[in-house]
Amino acid sequence: MNTHTHTPQSVATSETLSKLSRRDFLSTTAAMTGGLFIGYGLLANDAHGAVSTTQVNLWLNVGSDNSITFSVGTADMGQGSAQGLAAALCEELMVDPANVKIVTGKPSLAVPAPISASINTAGSGMIKNYFWRTRDAGAAAREMLISAAMTAMGDSNRDNYVVQNGVIINTSNAQRRTYGDVAASAATLPVPTNATLVSNLIYIGQRVKRQDIPLKVDGSAVYGIDVRIPNMVYAVIKHSPTFGGVLATTPERPRGAIAVVPTQVVAGTARGSNALGNVNALAVVAETTWDAMRLSKAIKPNWTIPVNASVLNTAQFKKDARTLLRSGTPYTGLNVPGTVYTVETVGTPKSAIGTSTKKLDLTYTLPYLSHACMEVLNCTVNYVAGVSCEVWAPTQAAKNVLILVATLTGLSVDRITVNTTFLGGGLGRKIELDFISQAVQVAMAINRPVKLMWSREEDFRHDMYRPMAAVRVQAGLGAGSVINGWMYRNVSPSLLGQRGATLSAKGDSQAYEASQDLPYNFGARSTEWVMHGSPIPVGFWRSVGASINTFAVESAIDEAANAAGFEPYLYRRMLLSDPRWIAVLEAAANASGWTSAAPAGKAKGIAIGAAFNSICAQVVEVKKGAKGPIVTRVWIAIDCGICVNPDQVEAQLMGGVIHGMNAALYGQQVCSNGVAQADNFNHNRVTLLHEAPEVKVIIIAGAIDRSRAIGGVGELGVPTFAPALANAWFKLTKTRVRDLPFLPGSTMSD
Amino acid sequence: MPNYNLNVNHKDYNVAVSSAEMPLLWVLRDVLGLTGTKYGCGIEICGACTVLVNGKPEKSCDLSVASAASKRITTVEGLSANKSHPAQVAWINHQVPQCGYCQSGVLMKVAGAINSGKHGAEISKEIDNICVCGTYQRMKKAVLGL
């Protein structure tokens, strides 16, 4: 997903990074007490205008007390990327990773940015964007510390010095200085811009253990929902059950409640049906969460239901989508539903298909999907009217929280503190601000510290869902069974459109990602995206557009292989010439024993795709169960450029596979007369331990070298699962599943 | 307000709550401040709220404070003093948690299985908790040594 949700133009890609010179990099803040501080980050256009030019997202501090602190601007939602960057830092500082304290940065809008700032946790981007910057900063700090030690010891021959776990040793005379001894004087030195990096790596590429894990086995990790502050009360949110509903009259405060507070949709939270200014929810405040929940269930507010509620139905959305697969109006500069956007055109695919000997015309559909983070949405606020506001939240977008709080309270940002807690899953949902805005509104209304929480039912029913989609693929097979014409059209609601973005003639980048620039030798091709008009709020969901497009593309490739009479793996090999794609495809196939016969009653399917600068291929083995497919084994190969911590890459891919499996087999949010139907895990079936396949991960990574493009990992396990499953199922049963999920209407009792 | 004596992690508490129906989960979290036990679904499906009641795993989201009174309650905070319970050690060694939110409940389930004399792969069969991060494979591996 994008690092900025407001302006797609300002997405921090590695391309924009490489254009940056080192002038943006390494700015010291020696004014701080307590040793050496170095901050660094991106120089990027800020999504919110002229509030900041230099973004210092990460900083390190070598304290005079020998402490080492590393502040990372992103949230910890289990992805382990901060830990990966810490390993990179420790490599250069030559200290044991166990000696470094990792903290989560707080957002700031100051100019220049202070030694802490936060950025959105998104786009599988932390290692990709900050690995080399972290190493450069660590190396610069080390050389400044050594320089200071050289002065202190009166020997200016750099060759005489080594560092052992934060102790600088002069090998000619065995004199020693700890980092702490020289940190203050190091802070007065200029920052070198070309410090040599460590070449004999001992942490990077190794299975360094994560610091957050011990906190997650004894209840000491504080998630947003665990925050407790003095004099705090508890609020539980209750939305209009119908999308777009508005509170008609505020119900009376029930006995036992402290307050009932209507909350409205504010700037930055308006999405689809949730229009700006709508009072679409109310919060019931009580002495405990349970009391707030109980009282919230008891009240029956009167909602004004929008006139279009009766057409907000899943069946209608699908029908509209299917119509738009064959119609639509040309792009005229306006972002309106029904507009056909041209993502790419090469040659004349229509005529190429027309003259082909075999023609395919295939339609795939995918449903809305809930995020279903284990930790429901919540936010804690301590607001002192006109004086200060402190917020604790499991957020993927702390800086956006800061801006929102400033807008809502009218306080200047220096009076606002935003604390990012641990996240019990983020998955893209916690980049949104709706739950934050509600908590701030309640705190301002009641003048008491408050923790606002959504019940699980509210969390399911008022998500910003992975968009539904219909995709049509037309392909023509020519001589030698090659594809000589490919026409791809994705019809789906616009994620960026719902966020007020003005789309270019190519359309919504979030919708078409992983459908364009495919390295298959298609001959002529066209890729289009058509805006669907459904107002159901949509959002970023782990792997975003790739979760849709990779299913359609890789299913269609398999169908083309079948039509051509080719074996699916060899067919892909024939159509591919990119050596990295071929290597990844081969790695997954070989690991799975692709060429040897599958065990009786089982079959394997394969799929490949790229997202977030990484390439991933997956082989899924399946057998028949009473109700449908049972996934028995999975092999997943990734080329992520370089691998900082194989243990975490494996963990992310294993988890991504399960996430993809939940979606492919069961995932769907059905809308009926404007009301989301699945309201708890009983109607949102997920994979349990006894159903989880063994996942074998193969990592293809090169030398740790600046010439290797670094790719993301966190979202990569998801997109290729569904097509690999559909392809395996076809091989086993000769039934082609083109509509997800495989098992609609599943419950946890199945 | 009704009043109950609770024994949690070998400590005695007297709690006053609004209703005898208040689930133990919210007494632990909001009244006693023991936030290691998590709210996940509220309908006894996901298992994030699992605690031990007289040594046996129970979902605390639907266990009333009245029925928990006078029983021996163990939460994840009471599993050991220093992360030394064999399940905790195994979870760290195998780097099981990702977001970690469901793991308190999973660990209580594992501890309960160990209490009832189960070992290794038998423990896996007891784990019916929902983990959206999908850490199941490492859970299965981690219990093998228990």
Continuous H helices in A229-365: 289-298, 314-324, 349-354
Burial readout A699-718 (b: 16 or more C-beta within 10 A, e: otherwise): bbbeebeeeebbbbbbbbbb
B38–A214 CB contact, under 8 Å: no
A288–B17 CB contact, under 8 Å: yes
For A657, which of B33, B35, B134 is closest by C-beta distance?
Answer: B134
Chain B residues with CB-CB distance to A656 below 8 A:
134
A394-445 per-position pLDDT tens digit: 999 988 999 999 999 999 998 999 999 999 999 999 999 999 999 999 999 9
Residue A428's closest CA among A405, A395, A461, A467?
A395
Nearest chain B CA: its distance from A508 CA (Å): 28
Alpha-carbon gap, residue A592 to A656, rounded angstroms:
18
Nearest chain B CA: its distance from A621 CA (Å): 16
Nearest chain A CA: its distance from B45 CA (Å): 7
Residue type, A60: L
Q: What is the mean pLDDT of chain A?
A: 90
pLDDT (average), residues A471-482? 94
How many helices (H) does chain B have, and how many strands (E)? 6, 5
Checking if the pLDDT of A109 tops 80, the result is no
A526-558 per-position pLDDT tens digit: 999 999 999 999 999 999 999 999 999 999 999
Instruction: Decide: A650 and A697 in contact? Cβ < 8 Å.
Output: yes
Nearest chain A CA: its distance from B116 CA (Å): 20
For A374, which of B18, B33, B102 is closest by C-beta distance?
Answer: B102
Chain A residues with CB-CB distance to B23 below 8 A:
290
- Using CA coordinates, name the residue in chain A closest to B96: A213
CB contacts < 8 A, A to B, total: 190
Tell me, yes or no, if B100 comes closer than 8 A to chain A by beta carbon: yes
For A218, which of B77, B102, B138 is closest by C-beta distance?
Answer: B77
B132–A77 CB contact, under 8 Å: no
B29–A289 CB contact, under 8 Å: yes
CB hemisphere CA count around A673 (13 angstroms):
4
B35–A234 CB contact, under 8 Å: no
Q: What is the pLDDT of residue B59?
A: 98
A156-201 per-position pLDDT tens digit: 999 999 999 999 999 999 999 999 999 989 988 888 878 999 999 9
A290–B22 CB contact, under 8 Å: yes
Interface test with A, best of B19, B74, B136 (most A CBs within 10 A): B136
SS3 content of chain A, % helix, strand, coil (to 5): 30, 25, 45
Tell me, yes or no, if B43 comes closer than 8 A to chain A by beta carbon: yes
A219–B35 CB contact, under 8 Å: yes
A647-685 per-position pLDDT tens digit: 999 999 999 999 999 999 999 999 999 999 999 999 999
Which residues are bridge partners to A369 per DSSP?
A: A466
Q: What is the pLDDT of residue A331?
A: 96
B30–A288 CB contact, under 8 Å: yes
For B92, which of A217, A376, A656 is closest by C-beta distance?
Answer: A217
Checking if the pLDDT of A115 tops 50, the result is no
B79-128 per-position pLDDT tens digit: 999 999 999 999 999 999 999 999 999 999 999 999 999 999 999 999 99
ipTM > 0.90 (yes/no): yes
Chain B residues with CB-CB distance to A213 below 8 A:
91-92, 95-97, 100
Chain B residues with CB-CB distance to A220 below 8 A:
36, 77
Chain B residues with CB-CB distance to A221 below 8 A:
100
Chain B residues with CB-CB distance to A658 below 8 A:
133-134, 136
Residue A123's closest CA among A271, A251, A1?
A1
Chain B residues with CB-CB distance to A77 below 8 A:
98-99
C-alpha distances in Å from residue A477, one per residue of A325, A353, A546, A575, A577: 21, 7, 25, 12, 18
- Using CA coordinates, name the residue in chain B closest to A373: B132
pLDDT (average), residues A705-723? 93
Q: For chain A, how many residues are written? A: 750
Beta strands in B3-138 (DSSP E): 3-8, 11-16, 50-53, 56-59, 72-74
* Residue B31 DSSP class: I
Residue type, A519: P
Residue B100's closest CA among A417, A711, A76?
A76
- Rounded to two decimals, what is the model's pTM? 0.93
B134–A287 CB contact, under 8 Å: no
B99–A425 CB contact, under 8 Å: yes
Interface test with B, best of A689, A695, A696 (most B CBs within 10 A): A689
Instruction: Decide: A324 and A532 in contact? Cβ < 8 Å.
Output: yes
Chain B residues with CB-CB distance to A422 below 8 A:
99-100
Alpha-carbon gap, residue A723 to A634, rounded angstroms:
13
Alpha-carbon gap, residue A379 to A437, rounded angstroms:
9
